[in-house]
């Protein structure tokens, strides 16, 4: 795969140099000149100068019909590599390596059709750049950290730089794992590749409306997973999809099976084919801990008497996103006394929710929003001693305990025609987990069907 482009750029450089012998150079302002023409600019460098000397940006003009053509020796190449840092950009990185503005612009132009260098570049992305000894880009290979299989290559074709995307072959593997909880889910999943990602997929994704992983797990609980993961060159790349997740606990248990019905969206279903999606998210944010639970009679440490706390307080960093816990319509968004900056949302069936002490509100009254829409940020406005979210749930105007919101509520059930197929898949996945999962580490259980 790497041979053909390198042959191409070699040919390209040869062609370029042949053309070069008939050129004369004149200095122009780099940016504007480069912006007007779609073509790459080159720079002059005397052969004795080091490759990365920064030189004035120049424009060349082709003068027809001059002089003899000599076949030059192929120039040596300098290879530079770098990783995009935080607050970095491809431009800054290249600039830091001493690449000229003209070459960076040319590279940017070439990249445009396949890769938006300004928007798509992320910290951790890597690249390698080959420069000819006159400082021109010969080849550029960019690897996005989020999608390392999607390699962006820029190569020289004569005077032009051309870009293309190459997708490296990936391998899907089906994996199984069963672990015992010692203290928390995240530590238990530490034995897996990207255990943190797997934790998020399970806790914030699949079981988000069913299991509260901050409160419910107990030592000795068991968690089993069957999933698909992507591998590149034999190395783990990322999780693709969790097919089955099973939590067997002392406080809660749950089974989640991924299932897709023809013509409907895919989702997770319990043992009987009932959707795990519930009306409310268990928690309206990613938080550190619950600093105060719902209580109709909470003993107040200063007042020395029982004062109700009709909500849940979540300790979280200022600026943490706050999500609507269910779809609905914003009925209030603004300052409200001791609540500080507060959002109130009306939901179906007489429910409403309140989110208080926000530092910022990102919705307006009357707006319709979906579940998990970001409505604002954690703050400490109103009567709050530090940044936290005070969250209330009301049914027909009466406060209820948010922790009980999803109890007893049911998701939608799969339709009859799909239930038999669902049951077959469920049993197949369960037997995969039972036969392969109990080794305490991820094991391959075969390749999923190609797609
Ligand atoms: Zn509170």
Domain ranges in the chain are: 3-167, 171-278+413-444, 289-404
Percent of the chain having pLDDT more than 70?
A: 78
**Is the pTM higher than 0.85?**
no
Going from the Cα of 292 to the center of ligand 1, the distance in angstroms, rounded, reads 7
User: In Å, how far from its chain's centre is CA 29?
Assistant: 39
353-373 average pLDDT score: 96
Please give all residues whose CB falls under 5 A of ion ligand 1, grouped by chain where several chains appear. Answer: 311, 313, 390
Q: Give the tens place of pLDDT for each residue, 167-207.
A: 999 999 999 999 999 998 999 999 899 999 999 899 878 88
Phi and psi, residue 325, nearest 5°: -85, -10
Going from the Cα of 356 to the center of ligand 1, the distance in angstroms, rounded, reads 8
pLDDT at 388: 95
Q: Give the tens place of pLDDT for each residue, 109-163.
A: 999 999 988 888 899 999 999 999 888 999 999 999 988 999 999 999 988 999 9
Q: Give the start-end residues of each E strand in 43-136.
A: 58-62, 77-83, 126-132
Q: Give the tens place of pLDDT for each residue, 50-97.
A: 333 232 222 222 333 334 444 444 556 889 999 999 888 999 999 999
Output the average pLDDT for the chain: 80
Going from the Cα of 185 to the center of ligand 1, the distance in angstroms, rounded, reads 27
Is CATH 3.10.20.30 what the domain over 3-167 is classified as, yes or no? Answer: no
Q: Give the tens place of pLDDT for each residue, 225-264.
A: 999 999 999 999 999 999 999 999 999 899 999 999 877 7
Going from the Cα of 315 to the center of ligand 1, the distance in angstroms, rounded, reads 10
Going from the Cα of 280 to the center of ligand 1, the distance in angstroms, rounded, reads 19
Examine the pLDDT at 39 and tell me if it is beyond 50.
Answer: no
Per CATH, the number for 289-404 is 2.70.70.10
pLDDT-based confidence at residue 28 (cuts at 50, 70, 90): very low
Going from the Cα of 407 to the center of ligand 1, the distance in angstroms, rounded, reads 22
CB 311 within 8 A of CB 392: yes
Per CATH, the number for 171-278+413-444 is 3.10.450.350
Going from the Cα of 325 to the center of ligand 1, the distance in angstroms, rounded, reads 17
Matching fold, domains 3-167 and 171-278+413-444: yes
- Cβ partners under 8 Å of residue 277, min gap 6: 209, 267, 268, 411, 412
Q: Give the tens place of pLDDT for each residue, 399-418.
A: 988 877 776 667 788 888 89
Going from the Cα of 211 to the center of ligand 1, the distance in angstroms, rounded, reads 23
Going from the Cα of 355 to the center of ligand 1, the distance in angstroms, rounded, reads 10
């Amino acid at each position: 795969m790497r041979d053909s482009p390198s042959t191409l750029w070699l040919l390209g450089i040869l062609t370029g140099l042949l053309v070069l012998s008939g050129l004369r150079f004149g200095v122009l302002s780099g940016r504007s000149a480069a912006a007007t023409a779609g073509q790459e600019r080159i720079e002059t460098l005397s052969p004795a100068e080091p490759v990365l000397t920064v030189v004035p940006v120049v424009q060349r003009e082709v003068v027809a019909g001059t002089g003899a053509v000599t076949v030059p020796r192929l120039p040596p190449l300098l290879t530079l590599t770098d990783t995009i840092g935080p607050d970095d950009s491809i431009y800054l990185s290249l600039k830091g390596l001493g690449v000229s503005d003209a070459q960076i612009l040319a590279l940017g132009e070439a990249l445009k059709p396949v890769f938006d260098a300004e928007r798509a570049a992320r910290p951790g992305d890597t690249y390698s750049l080959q420069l000819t000894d006159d400082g021109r880009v010969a080849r550029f290979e960019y690897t996005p950290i989020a999608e390392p299989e999607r390699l962006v290559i820029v190569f020289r074709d004569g005077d032009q730089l051309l870009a293309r995307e190459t997708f490296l072959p990936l391998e899907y593997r089906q994996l199984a794992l069963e672990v015992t909880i010692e203290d928390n889910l995240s530590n238990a999943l530490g034995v897996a590749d990207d255990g943190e990602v797997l934790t998020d997929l399970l806790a914030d994704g699949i079981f988000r409306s069913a299991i509260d992983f901050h409160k419910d797990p107990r030592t000795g609980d068991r968690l089993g997973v069957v999933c698909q993961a992507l591998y590149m060159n034999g190395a783990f790349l990322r999780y693709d999809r969790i097919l089955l997740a099973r939590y067997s606990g002392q406080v809660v248990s749950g089974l989640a099976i991924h299932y897709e019905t023809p013509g409907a969206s895919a989702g997770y279903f319990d043992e009987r084919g009932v959707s795990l999606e519930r009306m409310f998210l268990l928690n309206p944010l990613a938080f550190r801990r619950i600093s105060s639970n719902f209580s109709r009679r909470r003993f107040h440490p200063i007042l020395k008497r029982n004062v109700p706390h009709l909500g849940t307080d979540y300790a979280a960093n200022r600026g943490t996103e706050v999500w609507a816990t269910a779809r609905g319509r914003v009925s209030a968004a603004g300052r409200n006394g001791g609540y500080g900056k507060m959002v109130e949302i009306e939901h179906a069936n007489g429910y409403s929710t309140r989110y208080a002490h926000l530092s910022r509100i990102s919705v307006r009254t009357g707006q319709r929003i979906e579940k998990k829409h970001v409505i604002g940020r954690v703050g400490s406005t109103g009567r709050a001693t530090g940044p936290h979210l005070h969250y209330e749930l009301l049914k027909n105007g009466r406060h209820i305990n948010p922790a009980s919101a999803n109890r007893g509520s049911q998701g939608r059930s799969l339709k009859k025609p799909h239930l038999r197929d669902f049951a077959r898949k469920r049993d197949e996945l369960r037997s995969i987990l039972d036969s392969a999962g109990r080794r305490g580490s991820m094991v391959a259980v075969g390749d999923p069907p190609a797609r």
